[in-house]
Structure 1
Amino acid sequence: MQDKAKTKSDKTVKDMSGMTLYFRLLGYVKPSMAYFLISVLGYILYSAMQPALAALLKHIVDVVSHGKVTESRAVIPLAILGVFLVRGLGTFLGSYGMAKVANNVVFDLRTSMFNKMVTLPSGYFNNMPSGRLLAKLTYDTEQVIDSVTQAIQVILREGLTVVGLLGYMVFINWRLSLLFLFVLPLIGAVVRYASKRFRKLSLKIQNAMGGVTDVASEAIKGHEVIKVFGGKEYEIERFYKAAQENRRSQLKMEMTKALNVPIIQFIVAISLSLLIWLALEPSISSSMSAGDFVAFIGAAGMLSRPMRQLTSVNSILQKGIAAAQSIFTFLDLESEKNTGTKAVERMQGNIEWRGLTFRYPSVDKNALTDVNLSLPAGKKLALVGRSGSGKSTLANLIPRFYDVEGESLLIDGININDYDLSSLRQNIALVNQQVVLFNGTIQENIAYGGLKGISEEDVIEAAKAANAWDFIQELEFGLKTRVGENGVLLSGGQRQRIAIARAILKNAPILILDEATSALDTESERAIQQALDKLMENRTTIAIAHRLSTIENADIIAVIDHGVIIEKGSHTELLAQNGAYAQLHNQQFNDSPGVDADAKS
C-alpha cells in the first residue's frame, strides 16, 4: 500500500511542469512577503540607475556639444555620485531581503520535511537508506537556496535592468529597438533545450549525491566491522564509484552550462552588431542628436551584461526545480493512516488475534498466516521460534507500525484500527532488541518524549528498578551524562538497562519486550529479570525471547515457525507435548549448560 502511495506521489510530481514546481516552491515565500517586497524595491532602485546612467551620458554629450560645460560642471559629478549611492542602497536592500527570504524558505522546507518524516509509516524507512534521506534534508534543500536567492536575485535585478534599458532605447528610437524582438524566439529555443538538460542532469546529481551519503553513512556506522573484517579497500572502492558518478554528472552539467552561455551571448552580440550598424546609417543617425546617439549605443552596450547573467541563471534555476521535485515527492508521501477516533486514557490490555494474516508491502510471501491467539489482560505471552519466523512482526502490529486489515486484531474487544494512534501508543511501552538511545543525557533518554515533564525522583526510581542506578551514580555527571550517538559512550548492557528504565517509567498497561535482556551479563540479567517480573505484574506483556530460561513463567508460550503458530500453551504443557518447544528447550539447555542450568534450577 505504501509503495503504491509512493509511486502515485512520484508520478504526480513528475507530471508537473518546471514552472508549476517552481511556483509551488515560491509558495513558501508568502510568510516572508514583507522581506520579498523590500528586496523587489531594492532591485527596482538598482535597475533604474542603469538607464539613468545612459541618460546622464546623453546629458554630458549634449552639454559638451553645445558648449555649456561650465553650467553643469558641479551638477554632473553630484549626479554620478547620486546614481551610485542609490544603486548601492538598492543592492543592499535587494541582497539582504532576498537572503532573509531564502533562509526562511529553506527553514520551512526542512522543518516540513522533518515533520513529514516522523509521520511516515515504518515501511518507508525499511526501503529508504538513511544516507539518501539525509541527502534530501541537506543537499536538496541547499539547491533550493540558490534557486530562491541567486536565481530570483538575478531575474529581478538583471530582468528589471533589461526592461529599463530597452524602455529607454524605445524612448530614444523605437524603430531600432524592435530589432531585439526578432532574436528573442531564438534565445528562447536555446534556453528551453538547455533547461531540459539541466533538470535531467540535476536529478542525476541528486541521486549520485544520495549514493555518496549512503556509502559514507554506512561506513561511519560500521567502522568497527570494516576494520576487523578488512573491508577498507571494499568501502574505498564503493565510495570512489559513488563519487565518480557524482563527478561525471557534475561535469556534464558544467559542459552544458559552458556551451549555453556563449551561444546566447553570441546571438545577443549579433543583434547588437546589427543594431549599431543600422544606427550608423546616416538616414537614421541624422534624426538623433549626438547625445541621443551616444545614449542609445551606451544603453545597447549595457544590455550585454544583464542578458548574460539572465542566461547563466538557467542552470541554477533548473537545479532548484529538480531539487523541488525531489522535496515535493517526499512531502506528498502518504503519512501513517490514523483513521481511528477512539481515545482511551488507560486500556485494560486484552489482546486477541483472529485469523490474522499479514504481508509486508512489496513482498509476495506472508509474514504471518492465520494467527489465532487470545491474551487476557495482565497475562504474559512469550513468543519463541527461529530467527525470521515472525515473532517481531506479531509484536510490531500491536503499536500499529504496520496496518492490518479487517477485524483480525483487537484490544479490549475493539478493532485496533478504530483507536486513535497517539492514544493507542500511549498505552504501550517497548524495549527493542536493538536499543535506541538519542544523543542527549541519560535523564533525557529515560524521560523521553511524553515523559519529559516527569520529576527527577521518578526517573531515579525507574533507574533503580531497571538496575541502572548503580552504574549511573558512578558516572561523573550522573543523570546528566551524555550518552553519545545511539548511546555509543555506554556499554551494551548499560544501554539496555536505560531502555528498560524508560519502559518502567512509562508505566503503560501493555508491555512489549523484544529480547529485553539479550545484552546483559548473567548477574545483571538476574537482577533485571526480577525488576521485569515486578513490572509485568498486572500488565499485558508480549515477550520475544531466544533464551527460553527467561520466559518459563509466561502464562502462554507460542511457538512460531514460518509465520504460523505451531504450538501454544504453558511451559509445562509444551514440554509434556514433546514437540517443537521441547526440542528447542532440550537443544538450548544441552548446548549451554553453563549459562542456563542455574536458571533452570
Structure 2
Amino acid sequence: MATQTDKEQTVNVIERLLKTDIGGFLYQQQIGSLHGRIFRSMQGLIRILKLTFLEFMPIFFTAIAAIIIAFLQKPLLASVMILVIPTGLFLIVKQISSQKGIRVALLRGKERVDGKVVEMLGGIETIRVLNTAPFEVNKVEAIAESQRRIEMRHHVYMALFDATKYLNEAFFYIIVIVLSIYLASQGVISRGDILVYSILFLSITNPLREIHKILDQAHESSIQVNDLYNLLNQPLDVSFNKNGLNLRIRSGIKQPVISAKNLYFSYADKEGILKNISLQIKRGEHIGIVGVSGCGKTTFIHILLKLVHGNKGEMYLFNEKLQDISRETIAEKIAYVPQKPFIFSGTIKANILYGCHREISEDELIEGAKNARILGEIQGALGGFSGRVTENGNNLSGGQRQRLAIARVMLQSPELIIFDEATSALDNTNEAIIQQNIERVFKGKTIISIAHRLTTLKSADRILVFDAGKIIQEGNFDSLSKTKGLFQDFLLQRNKVEAKK
C-alpha cells in the first residue's frame, strides 16, 4: 500500500506542477527548494502510513487488551490506571501545538539549503573561475547555522515535554502501587496482585509512551503531507482548459495567423511589460522582432505560446481567440526554439525527436540534423545518434545545443515557427546556412525570429521594433535602416563595433 501510494502521489504531484501557472507559483520558487519540498512531502506521507499500520495499530490494541484485563481484575484500580491516558494525551497535544511553528521553520530552512545547493551547482563554472567558493560556502554555512539553532531549541523543548510525560507516568504508577498495597493490606487483593497490577500498568504506559512518540512523529509528517496537498491543489494554468479547440488549418487560407489588439501584460510585482500591443501577422510572413533586453519581445512570444496570459486586450491565433485554443493545438501547430533550449540526459536521437508528434524515419532524422548543420558532429565526435548527452547538455557547446533544438524543429510540421535568438551561439557561416535551410524547409509557413544580430533579419518581410513594452517601429530591413529611429541606432552601433574589429 505504501509503495503504491508513493508511486501514485509522485506521479500526481509532478503532473500537477507541469500544468501549474508558470507566472504564479512556479515563478516564485527555487528549483532546488521545490524538489526538496516534493521529496520530503512524499516521505511524510509514506511515514504516516507506516506509523499508522505498522506501529500505531499493534501498540494501540496491546494497550486496550491491558486495560480490559485490568478492569476484569479490579475496576477500581483499572479506573486509576487509565487516568494516566488523558493527562498524557493532554501533554502530547500541548507538545505538538507548541512545536508546529518550529517544525515548519526547519522544513523551510532545509528547502533553502536545497535551493542554494542546486543554484551553486548550476553555476559551478562561474564560481570556479571567479574563485568565489569560500563566499558560497559561507552562505550555506549561515543557513546551516540558523538551522542548527532552531533545531537545538526544538530539542530542548522536546526534552522538557518528554521529562514531563515521564513524571506523569511515575505519578500515576506510585498511586497504583500505593493503592494496591493498601488493598492487599485490607485483604481485598492478594500480595501477588500488587505485582500483577504493576505489570498491567506498565502494559498500559509502555504502549502509551510509544503512542506519544508515534503521534509526535505523525504530526511532523503531517506538516510535510500538508505541503504535498498544497502542491496538488495549486491552480492549473488556464491553458489546460479541457474545452480548448483542436484546430484544423486548411491550406490556402490567408486570414491573419496572429492578431493582437490592445494587449497588455505585467507580473504582479513589476510594471507593465507589454503596453497596448496591436498587430497582425499574415500566413507565410517572416517577421523579425528586435529591441533592447527587457523590452517585452520574449514576453509577447510567451503569451502567444500560452506560457503566460495577457492581463487585458485580445489575442487571436488562426482566427480563434487564443484562450479558446487547446495546448494540443499549440504543440501541433507551433514550433519554438528558445535561446536556451531544453536538452536532457539521454541520447542525441532522443533529444532531436523530443516533442515530435509523428513517426520519424531514419532518413528524416539524418535530413533534419543535416539542415541544422550538426550531422557531421553527430557522426563524429558526438558518437552518432546513440551518443549520450548529459544533464542540460553540459557535454555540448552552446552552438551544438541550439542546433540540436533546430534539428528538432526541422522534423515537425508546424504552421508557425518561432525562433527566440535561437542562433545566438552560432558563428556567422553556420547561422547564414541554417537561415537559408529554415526558409527552404518552412517555405509558405509563418516564421517569427527574435534576433540581436540584425543581419539575420535581412530577408524578413517585416521587422517589429520593441521598446519599453511597445512597438515603436515597423518595416523591412532596408526601410528601417534608412529611417531615423531605434533600429538605425542599432545598426550604427553594430557598424562601430565592426569597424573597431
Same fold by TM-score greater than 0.5:
yes
Q: Is the 8 A contact 2:66 2:200 kept in 1?
A: yes
Q: Is the 8 A contact 1:201 1:249 kept in 2?
A: yes
Instruction: Report the alpha carbon displacement of residue 258 of structure 1 after superposing the two structures with TM.
Output: 2.1
SS in 2 for 1:478: coil
Change (3 A) 1:352 1:359: same
1:152-178: CA deviation from partner (whole Å, max 9, x where unpaired): 533212211111111111111111100
More helix by share: 1
- Counting only pairs closer than 5 Å after superposition, residues 2-401 of structure 1 correspond to structure 2 as 101-123=1-23, 124-150=25-51, 152-282=53-183, 286-288=187-189, 294-337=195-238, 338-339=240-241, 340-346=243-249, 350-363=257-270, 365-401=271-307
Q: Is the 8 A contact 1:261 1:308 kept in 2?
A: no
Q: Is the 8 A contact 1:176 1:278 kept in 2?
A: yes
SS in 2 for 1:193: helix
Q: Is the 8 A contact 1:285 1:293 kept in 2?
A: no
Q: 2:484 matched to which residue of 1? A: 578
1:272-322: CA deviation from partner (whole Å, max 9, x where unpaired): 221121111246773445665543332223333212111122331121111
Q: 2:403 matched to which residue of 1? A: 497
Q: 1:22 matched to which residue of 2? A: none
SS in 2 for 1:565: strand
Change (3 A) 1:552 1:285: farther
Of 383-392 and 263-272, the range deviating more from structure 2? 263-272
Instruction: Report the alpha carbon displacement of residue 395 of structure 1 after superposing the two structures with TM.
Output: 1.2
Mapped partners of 1:130, 1:267: distance in 2: 46
Mapped partners of 1:110, 1:547: distance in 2: 44
1:494-544: CA deviation from partner (whole Å, max 9, x where unpaired): 111100011111221111101111111222222212222223421111110
1:233-265: CA deviation from partner (whole Å, max 9, x where unpaired): 210111101222222232233223222223112
Mapped partners of 2:165, 2:46: distance in 1: 26
Query: Are 1:568 and 2:477 an aligned pair?
Result: no
Amino acid at match of 1:143: G
Q: Is the 8 A contact 1:198 1:315 kept in 2?
A: no
Change (3 A) 1:450 1:173: farther
Q: Is the 8 A contact 2:67 2:82 kept in 1?
A: no
Q: Give structure 1 regions of 4+ aligned residues with deviation exceeding 6 angstroms.
A: none
Q: 2:315 matched to which residue of 1? A: 409
Q: Is the 8 A contact 2:273 2:469 kept in 1?
A: yes
Percentage identity across paired residues of the two chains: 24
Gaps of at least 5 residues in structure 2 are none
Q: Is the 8 A contact 2:432 2:456 kept in 1?
A: no
Change (3 A) 1:405 1:466: same
Q: 2:328 matched to which residue of 1? A: 422
Change (3 A) 1:149 1:490: same
Mapped partners of 1:522, 1:200: distance in 2: 58
SS in 1 for 2:288: strand
Amino acid at match of 1:519: A
SS in 1 for 2:276: strand
Query: Are 1:483 and 2:386 an aligned pair?
Result: no
SS in 1 for 2:215: helix
Change (3 A) 1:125 1:332: same
Mapped partners of 1:319, 1:379: distance in 2: 59
Instruction: Report the alpha carbon displacement of residue 266 of structure 1 after superposing the two structures with TM.
Output: 1.8
Q: Is the 8 A contact 2:184 2:191 kept in 1?
A: no
Amino acid at match of 2:246: A
Instruction: Report the alpha carbon displacement of residue 269 of structure 1 after superposing the two structures with TM.
Output: 1.8
SS in 2 for 1:578: coil
Amino acid at match of 1:116: R
Amino acid at match of 2:60: G
- Counting only pairs closer than 5 Å after superposition, residues 432-447 of structure 1 correspond to structure 2 as 432-447=338-353
Instruction: Report the alpha carbon displacement of residue 344 of structure 1 after superposing the two structures with TM.
Output: 1.2
Q: Is the 8 A contact 1:158 1:306 kept in 2?
A: yes
Superposition CA RMSD, Å = 2.1
Mapped partners of 1:147, 1:253: distance in 2: 21
Q: Is the 8 A contact 1:383 1:543 kept in 2?
A: yes
- Give me the TM-score of the superposition, normalised by structure 1: 0.78
Q: Is the 8 A contact 2:297 2:466 kept in 1?
A: yes
Larger Rg: 1
